[in-house]
Amino acid sequence: MKYNSLNLELLKELQSMLTVPIKYDEETLERYSKDETAELKAVKPEVVVFPVSTEEVSGVMKFANRYSIPVTPRGAGTGLSGGAVPAFHGIVMSLEKMNRILDFDAANMMITVEPGVITGEIQKLADRHGLVYGGDPCSSESSSIGGNIAENAGGNKVMKYGPTGYHVYGLEVVLPSGEVTRLGGKMIKDVSGLDLIHLIVGSEGTLGIATGITLRLLPKPKYSVALLIPFPDIDTAIAAVPKLMTGSGVVPTSLEFMDASSIKAVCSFLNMEFPYADAGAHLIVEVEGSGRDSVFDDYVKLGESAIEAGGLEAFVADNRNTREKLWKARKSIAEALASISPVHCMEDVSVPMASIPELIKFSEEIARDRGLEMIAFGHAGDGNVHVSFIKGDMPEERWNEALPLALKELYAKTTALGGCISGEHGIGLKRKKYLASITDKAQLDLIRGIKRAFDPSYILNPGKIVDL
């Protein structure tokens, strides 16, 4: 696809339709040239724009179509797939200024927001009204809701609440042509036509730009308890996961795991002590409910089941401070990894839950064979594993040779186990070539056909997921 470049005359025209000044100084272009995908090369846009309304977003898209300029939408830049990297330069459209709460409807338990609202702010507002927003990515304090929707973000509470898409009931969307459409609303049930909402959710900003988002809220559980359970090794920890639920009869809200290397990294990063820090693996299990006694019964059953399944101990975090300390450790692993090695590759493979030990063992063999270090952590309850390869002191040339081979082997094993190459971070630029090699032609053609139907000019976030 051939695109045009922006000249001074076009920049002036672009500015004329926007309230906030456009930026094209080197510092800004550098800042908006990448997301948090550590191993991808940055690509500078020609200009960054900051629309403040649906009308301005629409105007930019019409401008882009008129002059064949690619547009890359961007939320908070916390993505881990290169989805916000402007692969063909052009315009980066930052939605950070569209950060208003548009409507809080306690009676219908719905909230409508703009895409630039930080997810944690939605959670806090819901909490103040005795409600909860169930979408809980680990990056909730820094990621925006628009980015969460673009990637259909997962998180710590998927077992109970599901990923982001489960909570999206209405969208205002600017299509690549600049047309505006409204999908869904505050209705719980809606089969009036195709389910276009959940086609937009997870489409990585390639089919449209959500400028208004209606989310369902739920009653807030009154009591919450987390358990930290160390195990002698990964195999025993993961094998314990189904036993925890079948043995106790309890489905927890969260069920996370961390291997020994990730615990060591985060303890060093946070300068904190962790019970059984030398254990082979830890599970974090959280249960919540409306009754103190029922929650007590549930966590006692889970703890007993964990010990029976090989757990070394069950530490109880039954107040807010201890729970937050525990979750801070889990949610800080990515930061700890970046502090160890700014260049690393955090993967997002997802397999059937019982296959996690085999996947991790194979990943360790890959790392050993390729001379890489690695850690593994993730969501044991849904099979989503963040296998992370670390460059460390490895020379750049060796890293550039070893990593693609390691990823090819990891993805092949993942698919052989009945899994997929991304559970919550997305394909973007990072995994595009691998998706093409492991997905059948019929499905790839469907994806391309949908892209063409929405974006015949291939203007919106080109270069992501598949090539046309």
Tens-digit pLDDT profile for residues 184-225: 999 999 999 999 999 999 999 999 999 999 999 999 999 999
Is the separation of the CB atoms in 121 and 131 below 8 Å? no
Model confidence pLDDT, tens digit, residues 405-456:
999 999 999 999 999 999 999 999 999 999 998 999 999 999 999 999 999 9
The mean pLDDT of 229-239, rounded to a whole number, is 94
Model confidence pLDDT, tens digit, residues 59-74:
999 999 999 999 999 9
Tally the C-alpha atoms within 13 A of residue 233's C-alpha that lie toward its C-beta.
Answer: 6
pLDDT of 245 > 90? The answer is no
CA distance 273 to 227: 16
Is the separation of the CB atoms in 199 and 193 below 8 Å? no
CA distance 169 to 182: 11
pLDDT computed for residue 408 by the predictor:
96
pLDDT computed for residue 331 by the predictor:
92
Model confidence pLDDT, tens digit, residues 72-88:
999 999 999 999 999 99
Residue 337's pLDDT band, with cuts at 50, 70 and 90, is very high
- Among all chains, which residue has been given the structure tokens 């304090």? 141
pLDDT computed for residue 246 by the predictor:
85
CA distance 60 to 459: 11
Query: Both tokens of residue 276?
Result: 């059984």
- Among all chains, which residue has been given the structure tokens 């500078």? 44
CA distance 98 to 117: 7
β-bridge mates for residue 246, sequence order: none
pLDDT computed for residue 155 by the predictor:
87
pTM over 0.85: yes
CA distance 465 to 468: 10
For the chain, what is the mean pLDDT? 95
CA distance 61 to 346: 33
- Among all chains, which residue has been given the structure tokens 């600049």? 178
pLDDT computed for residue 354 by the predictor:
86
Of 384, 352, 153, which is closest to residue 257 (Cα–Cα)? Answer: 384
CA distance 84 to 72: 6
Tally DSSP H helices, then E strands, for the chain.
16, 18
pLDDT of 136 > 90? The answer is no
pLDDT computed for residue 437 by the predictor:
87
CA distance 228 to 311: 10
Concatenate the DSSP letters of all residues of 440-457 into one string: -HHHHHHHHHHHHHH-TT
Residue 274's pLDDT band, with cuts at 50, 70 and 90, is confident
Supply the DSSP symbol for 213.
E
